[in-house]
C-alpha cells in the first residue's frame, strides 16, 4: 500500500488540509474501519470504488463523491485494485469550496455530480488522463490542487473567521462555553454557525478531537490506559472507553490490534 500527501499552497490552505493518494494493487479483502475525525473529504476513485457497509448490507460507493462528517465508525472493503485521489478539507472548509451547508451532508456519501456537475466532469477528466497514461500519481495531485485553487477563487470572503478560530481552539482542547467566549459568540450563535459550517455540533466535534488525540498517543508511544486518558483530557479510563466504543465500535485494545490498516493513514499526527 502506498500513500502520499500534497499540502495546499497559499489561500487554498485556508480550506484544505491536504490532497492525498492511496494505491494498492493487491488490497486485503478484509473490512477496514474508518473512525470519525471531524474532516469531510472529496474522493475520486481511479480504480474500483470501495464497498461500504450500512444497515447490514454492503454497497459499492460512487466513483466520485463527497463524504460529509461521520459520527460513527464506517466499514470499507476493497473490490479490486485501489487507486484513489482525495481532498481532505479542514473541518470548516468543505462548505466554502463546494457551496453546500455541511450539516446537510453529515453521515452521508453524496455522489459528486449531485453537488456539482461541473466539478464532476473535471474530475472525470483527471481520471481519463490517468487511464491514458498521461498522468502519474503525483501529477494527479497537482492537477487536483490546481482545480481546487480555481474553485476557491469563487469563495468570496472565504471561511467564517470566528468558526475557524473555534475549530482551532477545539483541536487544542477547550470547552464549548470557553470557546464561545473566546471567539465573541454566544453559545447559541456558536452552535448554529458551527453546525452549518462544520456539519456537527461544537460539543461533538470537541469530543472527536479528544478521541483522535488518544488514538494518536497510543500509536506513538506505549502508555497505560489511565495515563492516556488523563493526558488527553478524559476524567478516567471508563470515560475514554465509552468514547472509543461510540466512535469506533470497538474497545481501544481491539481497535489498535488490527482492522485499521487503512485507517492508520488517516489518523496520524502529521495530519494536523
How confident is the prediction along the chain (272 residues), in pLDDT tens digits per residue?
A: 888 899 998 888 889 999 999 989 998 888 888 899 999 999 999 888 999 997 678 999 999 999 999 999 999 999 899 989 999 999 999 988 888 899 999 999 999 999 988 888 888 877 776 665 545 666 778 888 888 888 777 776 667 899 999 999 998 877 888 999 999 999 999 999 999 999 999 999 999 999 888 877 776 666 676 777 788 888 888 888 899 889 988 877 766 665 444 544 444 434 43
Q: What is the pTM of this model?
A: 0.87
Q: What φ, ψ does residue 31 adopt, rounded to 5°?
A: -65, 140
Q: Rounded to an integer, what distance in angstroms lies between the CA atom of residue 138 and that of residue 41?
A: 19
d(CA 71, CA 243): 11
pLDDT in tens, 126-175: 777 666 554 566 677 888 888 888 877 777 666 789 999 999 999 887 78
Residues 6 or more apart whose Cβ sits within 8 Å of residue 243: 207, 210, 211, 214, 234
Domains of the chain with CATH codes: 2-152 (2.60.120.10), 161-271 (1.10.10.60)
Amino acid at each position: 500500500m502506498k500513500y502520499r500527501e500534497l499540502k495546499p499552497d497559499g489561500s487554498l490552505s485556508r480550506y484544505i488540509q491536504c490532497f492525498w493518494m492511496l494505491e494498492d494493487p493487491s488490497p486485503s479483502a478484509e473490512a477496514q474501519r474508518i473512525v470519525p475525525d471531524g474532516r469531510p473529504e472529496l474522493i475520486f476513485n481511479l480504480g474500483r470504488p470501495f464497498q461500504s457497509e450500512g444497515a447490514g448490507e454492503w454497497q459499492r460507493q460512487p466513483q466520485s463523491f463527497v463524504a460529509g462528517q461521520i459520527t460513527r465508525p464506517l466499514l470499507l472493503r476493497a473490490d479490486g485494485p485501489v487507486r484513489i485521489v482525495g481532498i481532505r478539507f479542514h473541518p470548516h472548509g468543505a462548505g466554502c469550496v463546494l457551496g453546500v451547508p455541511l450539516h446537510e451532508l453529515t453521515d452521508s456519501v453524496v455522489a459528486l455530480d449531485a453537488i456539482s456537475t461541473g466539478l464532476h466532469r473535471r474530475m472525470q477528466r483527471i481520471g481519463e488522463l490517468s487511464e491514458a497514461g498521461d498522468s502519474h500519481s503525483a501529477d494527479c495531485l497537482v492537477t487536483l490542487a490546481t482545480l481546487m485553487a480555481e474553485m476557491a477563487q469563487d469563495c468570496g470572503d472565504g471561511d467564517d473567521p470566528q468558526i475557524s478560530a473555534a475549530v482551532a481552539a477545539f483541536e487544542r482542547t477547550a470547552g464549548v462555553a470557553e470557546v464561545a467566549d473566546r471567539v465573541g459568540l454566544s453559545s447559541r450563535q456558536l452552535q448554529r454557525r458551527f453546525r452549518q459550517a462544520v456539519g456537527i455540533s461544537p460539543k461533538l466535534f470537541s469530543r472527536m478531537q479528544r478521541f483522535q488525540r488518544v488514538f494518536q498517543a497510543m500509536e506513538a508511544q506505549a502508555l497505560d490506559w489511565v495515563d492516556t486518558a488523563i493526558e488527553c483530557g478524559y476524567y478516567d479510563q471508563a470515560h475514554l472507553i465509552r468514547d472509543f466504543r461510540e466512535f469506533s465500535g470497538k474497545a481501544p485494545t481491539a481497535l489498535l490490534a488490527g482492522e485499521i490498516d487503512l485507517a492508520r493513514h488517516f489518523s496520524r499526527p502529521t495530519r494536523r
